[in-house]
Structure 1
Amino acid sequence: MRDTAVALAAAGIDNVRFEARLLLAKAAGLPVEALIGRGRDPVAAAIVDALRSLSVRRLQHEPMAYILGEREFWGLPFKVTPEVLVPRPDSETIIEAGLALLPDRERCWRLLDLGLGSGCLLLTLLKELPNAGGVGLEISHGALEVARDNAAALDVAARATLVQGDWRQPGWEDRLGGPFDLVVSNPPYVESAAISRLMPEVAQYEPRQALDGGPDGLTAYRTIAAAGRRLVTPEGHLLFEVGHGQATEIVGILASVGLAPLPPWKDLGGIERVVGARH
Structure 2
Amino acid sequence: MTTTFWTIQSLQAWAVPWLQQRGIESPRLDCDLLLAEALGVERLALFLDPKRPVAGTELATFKQFMQRRARREPVAYILRRRQFWRHEFLVTSDVLIPRPETELLVETVLDFFPQSSPLTILEVGVGSGALLCSLLLEYPEALGVGIDLSAAALRVAEENGRRLGCWPRMTLWQGDLLAPLSSGQYQGHFSVIVANLPYIAAEELQSLQPEVVQWEPRLALEGGTDGLAVIRRLPGAACPLLAEGGLLALEIGATQGDQVAEMLRDTGLQEVMLRLDYGRLPRLVSGRRI
Give the TM-score band, short-chain normalised.
over 0.9
TM-score norm. by structure 2 comes to 0.91
1:71 aligns to 2:71 (yes or no): no
In structure 2, the gaps of 5 or more residues are 1-11
1-structure distance, mates of 2:183, 2:271: 24
2-structure distance, mates of 1:272, 1:156: 31
1-structure distance, mates of 2:233, 2:260: 12
**Which of 120, 123, 127 in structure 1 is aligned with 2:130?**
120
Structure 1 residues 196 and 71, CA, compared in 2 at 3 Å: closer, same or farther? same
How far did residue 36 of structure 1 move? 3.0
**Alignment RMSD, CA only?**
1.6
Contact 1:116 1:136 in 2 (8 A): yes
Contact 1:167 1:173 in 2 (8 A): no
1:84 aligns to 2:95 (yes or no): yes
2-structure distance, mates of 1:54, 1:143: 24
Aligned to 1:248: 258
**Which of 273, 278, 282 in structure 2 is aligned with 1:272?**
282
How far did residue 172 of structure 1 move? 4.7
TM-score norm. by structure 1 comes to 0.95
Deviation string 1:220-246 (CA, Å, 9 cap, x unpaired) is 222111112222112111000001111
How far did residue 168 of structure 1 move? 7.6
Contact 1:261 1:278 in 2 (8 A): yes
More moved, 257-266 vs 44-53: 257-266
Aligned to 1:49: 60
1:174 aligns to 2:173 (yes or no): no
1:186 aligns to 2:196 (yes or no): yes
* Counterpart amino acid of residue 174 in structure 1: S
Secondary structure of the 2:32 match is helix
**Which of 220, 234, 239 in structure 2 is aligned with 1:229?**
239
Deviation string 1:64-120 (CA, Å, 9 cap, x unpaired) is 100111000012100000000000101111111111111x21121110000000111
Structure 1 residues 275 and 56, CA, compared in 2 at 3 Å: closer, same or farther? same
1-structure distance, mates of 2:190, 2:236: 15
How far did residue 255 of structure 1 move? 1.3
1:31 aligns to 2:37 (yes or no): no
More moved, 27-36 vs 183-192: 27-36
2-structure distance, mates of 1:220, 1:37: 49
Secondary structure of the 1:264 match is strand
How far did residue 47 of structure 1 move? 1.4
1-structure distance, mates of 2:185, 2:18: 49
1:109 aligns to 2:127 (yes or no): no
Contact 2:265 2:272 in 1 (8 A): no
Matching of residues 8-19 of structure 1 within 5 Å? 8-19=19-30
After the TM superposition, list the runs of 4 or more consecutive aligned residues in structure 1 that deviate by more than 3 angstroms: 171-178
2-structure distance, mates of 1:37, 1:223: 53
Contact 2:124 2:178 in 1 (8 A): no
Instruction: Quote the sequence identity (%).
Output: 36
2-structure distance, mates of 1:249, 1:174: 29
How far did residue 150 of structure 1 move? 0.5
2-structure distance, mates of 1:138, 1:214: 18
1:219 aligns to 2:214 (yes or no): no
**Which of 131, 137, 159 in structure 1 is aligned with 2:169?**
159
1-structure distance, mates of 2:142, 2:270: 24
Deviation string 1:14-38 (CA, Å, 9 cap, x unpaired) is 2221111111111112222222334
In structure 1, the gaps of 5 or more residues are none
Deviation string 1:155-203 (CA, Å, 9 cap, x unpaired) is 101111111111285x754378452001000001011222122111111
Aligned to 1:98: 109
Secondary structure of the 2:206 match is helix
2-structure distance, mates of 1:92, 1:167: 21
1-structure distance, mates of 2:112, 2:169: 20
* Counterpart amino acid of residue 35 in structure 2: L
Contact 2:264 2:272 in 1 (8 A): no
More moved, 147-156 vs 7-16: 7-16
